[in-house]
Amino acid sequence: MLNKLKSVAKNLLADRRVRNTYNRVTQGVMNAAGSNRVGATVYTGVGFATFNREQYAVVRGRRAYFQNLKRAKQNHVALRRNVHRLEKGLVMQPRRPVFALDYIDETMDFYEVAASQFTAAPDTVDESEMRWAHDVLAMYFDNVNHGNSLVASAFGRYESANERLAFTSETGRVKAPFTHTESHVSDISYEQMLDLAQRRRSVRWFDGRPVPRDLIDKALMVGRQAPSACNRLPYEFRIFDDPDMVKKVAGIPFGTGGYSHQIPAIAVVVGKLDHYFSPRDRHAIYVDSSLATMSFIFGLETLGVSSTIINWPDFEPLEIRMQKELGLDPSERVIMLVAMGFAAPEGGIPFSQKKSIESTAPLQRPSIAR
């Protein structure tokens, strides 16, 4: 039914008179609705279905966030956020003798929950996350004044939790802030990076070979290093390489007609709104997952695996189909899809000319008077 409706819409819009009428009507409505916030509010009220899924996802995510605070989880997002805040405080110049008083007690609430879970069932918690929290807190308490009652109380709770953790010293660098001189120096040149960016183009035609999972995992490791607001990493990459499942998933979005049947593997990038307690952060899933996806496809390219980004418009019938197929919670939003495979040698690739730097408005800055 959806494909039939899509076909009818395409045929109608191919008619110049229908297209011109549609554009004039739409422009008139947008002129009225977009003139001010009152008009926009009326428009979104009348067309509530257009935005309702996102609104529900945000509220559902906030509900899950607070429900998860004391639940057993492999990753504790609230702890991650606060530990990252501590790291930022530790690298400030000059560093204050006492900081984080507004959230150190809360941080210890989160730390105790994670430590208790780790003590009871170590395999159910991300140990690297637990060690990172442990090491950052150790550095924090080593560098703040314990004369403050809040700090002293939090330190006592930290020591008590660590007695249960019983962490032994781990070889290698402590998982806590370090100086730039201690960081690894990359030997990748600018020319090599530019060459990689120019070489990577969206490939839609593949030679049929399956993509080894170890190559996908290696690319995911690159993507995992991308920046993320407060280090929350509010996304998942759902990887599919079973031919039947790939065909189902690749056939859902618009824009894959004609080539979805020969995609060997596909990733569905899913944003997780249960990582946020406030609607102000609702856009972070799109920013963070996009940064990770760009790194991921660069990683694929270095391994000889080509890719193409498949756009995911916010269209209710498709959202319903994907939610059902993947078993997504309403707080989980599809951001995009990534088709992957080994490029067919004679397969065509769009040139995709990018904007020149000179034509990019933000870079056309006036000179600064001196």
Spatial strand order in the sheet of 235-240:
235-240, 265-272, 332-341, 306-310
pLDDT digits 0-9 by tens, 283-325: 999 999 999 999 999 999 999 999 999 999 999 999 999 999 9
Which one-letter DSSP state was computed for residue 206? B
Q: What is the pLDDT of residues 132-146, one digit of tens each?
A: 999 999 999 999 999
Residue 60's pLDDT band (boundaries 50, 70, 90)?
very high
What pLDDT is recorded for position 74? 94
Q: In this predicted structure, what is the pLDDT of residue 82?
A: 97
Mean pLDDT of 71-96: 96
pLDDT at 92 > cutoff 70: yes
Give the pLDDT band (50/70/90) at residue 43: confident
pLDDT, residue 170, reads 60
The alpha carbon of 69 is separated from its chain's Cα centroid by a whole number of angstroms, namely: 21
The CATH class for the domain spanning 191-341 reads alpha beta
Number of H helices, E strands in the chain: 13, 4
Q: Provide the mean pLDDT of the chain.
A: 92
In the 3-class helix/strand/coil scheme, how is 304-335 assigned residue by residue? CCEEEEECCCCCHHHHHHHHHHHCCCCCEEEE
At residue 157, φ and ψ (nearest 5 deg) are -70, -35
Both tokens assigned to 178? 């370090």
What residue segments make up the domains of the chain, in order of their start? 2-68, 77-167, 191-341
